[in-house]
C-alpha cells in the first residue's frame, strides 16, 4: 500500500512555496526585469519559458520523489535519491531570492550548479543502485532544462556585474553571443 499519495506531493510543494515566500520577504521582491537587463547568451530562454519549464520539472520531480518514498525502505539507493531530491528542493526554494532578490548572477550560477549536482546524484542513484526507470525518467525534464540553464547561468555570472557580491563582470562576451535586448 502506498504511504505517500499525490496530495502529499501537493503539501510538500506548498511547503517549498512557503519557503520561497519567506526567502523573498528577507531579500525583497522578485524583479524579473533584472533578468532582461542582464547580458544574456543568445541561447538563453525568454523569461516566459521559466514558469512553464519549472511547472513541468516540479510536477515530474515531485512524482519521482513520491515514487521513491513509496519504494521499500531497504531499496538500494532510495535514501540517496530522496536525500538528493530533498537538497534539490531546498535549492529550488532559495533560487529566486538568491538571484532576483539579491541581484546576484553569481548566486544564480552557484545555486544552479548545486541543483544540477543534486539532480545528477539522484539520477545516478535511480539508474545505478535503484535500477528504477520511473524514478530516473521523472528527472529527465529537469536534467534537460539544466543542460541549458548551466551555460546560461555561468555566462551571466561571467558577463554581468553582481550587485550583491560587488564583483564582475569577469569577461567581455563576444558580441555575436550576446542576445539583443528585447
| 26-77 per-position pLDDT tens digit | 766 666 678 888 999 999 998 889 989 999 999 999 999 999 999 999 999 9
Distance (Å, rounded) from C-alpha 5 to C-alpha 94? 26
Where along the chain do its domains lie? Answer: 47-172
Written in H, E and C, the secondary structure of the chain is CCCCCHHHHHHHHHHHHHHHHHHHHHHCCCCHHHHHHCCCECCCCCCCHHHHHHHHHHHHHHHHHHHHHHCCCCCCCHHHHHHHHHHHHHHHHHHHHHHHHCCCHHHHHHHHHHHHHHHHHHHHHHHHHHCCHHHHHCCHHHHHHHHHHHHHHHHHHHHCCECCCCECCCCCCCHHHECCCC
Is residue 103 within 8 A of residue 33, CB to CB? The reply is no
- Per-residue pLDDT tens for 135-178? 999 999 999 999 999 999 999 999 999 999 999 999 999 999 99
pLDDT higher than 90, residue 108: yes
- Residue 121, pLDDT > 80, answer yes
Amino acid at each position: 500500500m502506498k504511504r505517500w499519495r499525490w496530495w502529499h506531493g501537493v503539501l510538500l510543494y506548498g511547503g517549498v512555496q512557503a519557503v520561497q515566500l519567506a526567502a523573498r520577504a528577507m531579500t525583497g521582491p522578485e524583479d524579473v526585469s533584472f533578468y532582461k537587463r542582464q547580458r544574456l547568451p543568445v541561447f538563453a530562454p525568454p523569461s516566459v519559458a521559466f514558469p512553464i519549464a519549472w511547472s513541468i520539472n516540479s510536477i515530474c520531480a515531485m512524482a519521482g520523489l513520491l515514487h521513491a518514498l513509496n519504494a521499500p525502505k531497504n531499496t538500494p539507493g532510495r535514501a540517496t535519491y530522496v536525500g538528493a531530491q530533498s537538497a534539490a528542493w531546498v535549492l529550488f526554494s532559495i533560487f529566486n531570492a538568491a538571484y532576483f532578490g539579491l541581484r546576484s548572477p553569481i548566486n544564480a550560477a552557484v545555486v544552479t550548479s548545486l541543483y544540477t549536482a543534486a539532480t545528477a546524484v539522484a539520477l545516478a542513484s535511480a539508474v545505478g543502485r535503484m535500477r528504477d526507470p520511473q524514478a530516473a525518467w521523472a528527472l529527465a525534464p529537469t536534467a534537460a532544462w539544466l543542460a541549458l540553464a548551466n551555460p546560461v547561468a555561468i555566462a551571466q555570472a561571467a558577463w554581468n556585474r553582481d550587485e550583491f557580491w560587488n564583483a564582475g563582470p569577469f569577461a567581455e562576451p563576444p558580441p555575436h553571443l550576446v542576445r539583443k535586448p528585447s
